[in-house]
Structure 1
Amino acid sequence: MKKTLALFCLSWLLLGRAFGYDFVVAQDGSGQFRTVQEAFNAVPDFRKKVTTIFIKKGTYKEKLILAGSKNFVKIIGEDLNQTVLTYDDYNQKKNIFGEDKGTSGSSSIYIYGGDFSAENITFQNSSGPVGQAVAVWVAGDKARFKNCRFLGFQDTLYTFGYGSRQYYKNCYIEGTTDFIFGSSTAFFEDCTIFCKKGGSFVTAASTPDSVRYGYVFKNCKITGETPAASYYLGRPWRPYAKTVYLNCELGDLIKPEGWDPWGSESNKKTAYYAEYQSKGKGAAPKQRVPWSHQLTAAEAEQYSRDKVLRNWNPTLD
């Protein structure tokens, strides 16, 4: 029996590798695993090579954890819109002890492992407009997302990792209050940022004072379904928050003043908020708060992908 099972597992492993994948996840049983968590668990601890996991179309309702010992994991969805990783926890939902799960406890997926990457995946928190409800919580260094969707309401994307570097390319991120937030250094390139009804803040960076770069948005589109002048570009979750928009198209939903100090006069002196050549109806450089910055071309060069991500090139496999 053990020999038969071993041969079966080997045959599936060889089949997956024949298509360039180490593991295949499929709800219908046509892969090695039916759940994403099973595939995560199967990745050898501290492996020094990339483990590629192909996820077939389906809605996978799982609360996922990629452990810190699972490095170089790459997940690829069969179809962006039909490969969905989702869960429905939220801040005030109770755990088994009757306590609030909290913002961090609400996430649908936790990524601790370093050098993680995802392509063609939809990440979702499906709990709805019930307060803080995180779709993705990223702690690992060198995390990259290409052609992914992040769906939620308040606190959709939590860039949690202190000092970690994260890269988002051609992604779609939607939400309401502070829906991109955290302490990581994150570079968003060619992304669509969609502000849902309600009006609030696109970002709430908590950049440490010892870190030079926080959030950088390059060639992104900020749009939504909310009235004109209803969203700020950001507010400082912590005093030294840093957020910069480069060559971004801003919809009319962006307030002319652009930035909010979150009720603290001292934040105006410590937070760093800047733009370079914003365009669209939401671009109003002369009406921005006086403590924000409009960059020169020379200053904007200091926010190149290479410099922001500290010589890590996320476009290389």
Structure 2
Amino acid sequence: MKHLKLLILIAWLTVAYTTKAQIVVEAGNAESLLNAIERANLQNADTLSERLFILIPDGVYDLGERVLTSISGHNIALVGQSMEGTIIVNAPKVENEGISTTATLLNRGHHTYVQDLTLKNALDYYHSGAAGRAVCWQDKGDSTIFKHVRMLSYQDTYYSNNEHGHSYFEDSEIHGTVDFICGAGDVFFYHCLLVMEKRRQNGGGRDIIAAPRTSKTDWGYVFSHCTIRSNNTDFVYARGWREQPHCTWLYTTIEQPEHLQSSRFEPRGMRTIQSRFQEYGTMDAHGRNITPKSNVATFTLNGEKNTTETIITKKEAERYALKNVYSQWRPDKKTRTLQKQSARMMKRYLKL
């Protein structure tokens, strides 16, 4: 009987280990981080691979001029020790500037999970000429989750580059100037801080937070209970990129509402006038409702016009609850589970 119990215990320990596989990166060693990602890509090449955690201690992981470091494996979790202390940074050459050429990390995997770290693209934005497109995370994958993740750049900081993609941000922070949240697919931002950097180094200029190009999905970008912080820079919520862009702002707190332009959205589309841009329940830093009763916007392109009301009702806003946007996936529940697993793993590692 004792022998049987021992066999059962060994079997259980084996299962527990294989379902919580992990790779630990050497603190501050960029080469160790790159090797860990490469190993994870090989180990989790199959979409049905079990979750694999890459634990990244606090430190600066300087990738130099390297761009498009690829996460191609599936069910990979990049877990830092802390959002402020674990920093992955690259600095592309200015001549390499471009939305598809500069990303610090390029995700191609499904069910990627990122937690407690900072991604920084240090391209020399203010000396890059007419454009300074420097992406921290380009996402060609699907079902990506970010928890306590900070992204630091200026233009095109986060790029969702999958027409059918789905992603979820929670308690995260994104900095930028021009279209710094841009791309396709459905992306839900919950309780995130959006920080406007200076459009020009000496001040002035105007920022644009989002530039969706919704084409194959139903919801586009949904910002729920997020906070907008302006570095004394005027801004608008969003502008249309192409296709039929969707962008909805719910219960937003604006710390400096005087910097939100009266149009609230950019009326000039880049390649489209088909826009579903919406807003409900906007507040100032003191929690006072500052949503206008009406904001009729006219979006224009090459002489064509699309006039629409951007302020929606409470009932219409309720349609954009996370449980409706992601009725099957429920990333909020997955986040709670993965966060607990990550915390236990990191705690054990730090005790070694």
1:225 positional shift: 0.7
Any idea what the Cα deviations from partners look like across 1:264-310, whole Å, max 9, x if unmatched? 7961xx21000111112894424634324222222112111122235
Q: Is the CA contact (8 Å cut-off) linking 1:118 and 1:146 kept in structure 2?
A: yes
Q: Is the CA contact (8 Å cut-off) linking 2:185 and 2:217 kept in structure 1?
A: no
Distance 1:123 1:303 in 2: 28
1:51 counterpart residue number: 52
1:211 positional shift: 2.1
1:41 counterpart residue number: 38
Q: 1:23 to 1:294 in 2, by over 3 A?
A: same
Q: 1:307 to 1:300 in 2, by over 3 A?
A: same
Q: How many residues align?
A: 285
Q: 1:298 to 1:284 in 2, by over 3 A?
A: closer
The one-letter amino acid of 2:98's match is G
Identity of aligned residues (%): 24
Distance 2:320 2:62 in 1: 38
Secondary structure at 1:35 match in 2: helix
Distance 2:292 2:28 in 1: 53
1:1-317 correspondence runs (5 A): 22-27=22-27, 34-43=31-40, 44=43, 45-46=45-46, 48-62=49-63, 63=67, 65-68=69-72, 70-89=73-92, 92-94=94-96, 102-129=98-125, 130=128, 131-198=132-199, 199-208=206-215, 210-227=216-233, 230-250=234-254, 251-252=256-257, 253-263=259-269, 267=273, 270-280=274-284, 283-286=290-293, 288-290=295-297, 291-315=308-332, 316=334, 317=337
Secondary structure at 1:275 match in 2: strand
1:8 counterpart residue number: none
The one-letter amino acid of 1:233's match is Y
Distance 1:54 1:152 in 2: 24
Distance 2:117 2:277 in 1: 31
Any idea what the Cα deviations from partners look like across 1:197-248, whole Å, max 9, x if unmatched? 122211001111x421100000000112124xx1010000114110001111
Higher strand share: 2
Secondary structure at 1:307 match in 2: helix
Distance 1:262 1:180 in 2: 17
User: When the two structures are superposed, what TM-score results if normalisation uses the length of structure 2?
Assistant: 0.75
Any idea what the Cα deviations from partners look like across 1:110-153, whole Å, max 9, x if unmatched? 01100000110101101132311111111111000001100001
Distance 2:106 2:268 in 1: 28
1:28 positional shift: 6.4
Greater C-alpha Rg:
2
Q: 1:22 to 1:259 in 2, by over 3 A?
A: same
1:88 positional shift: 1.3
Larger CA deviation: 277-286 vs 185-194 = 277-286
Q: Could you list the runs of 5+ residues in structure 1 that have no partner in the other structure?
A: 1-13, 95-100
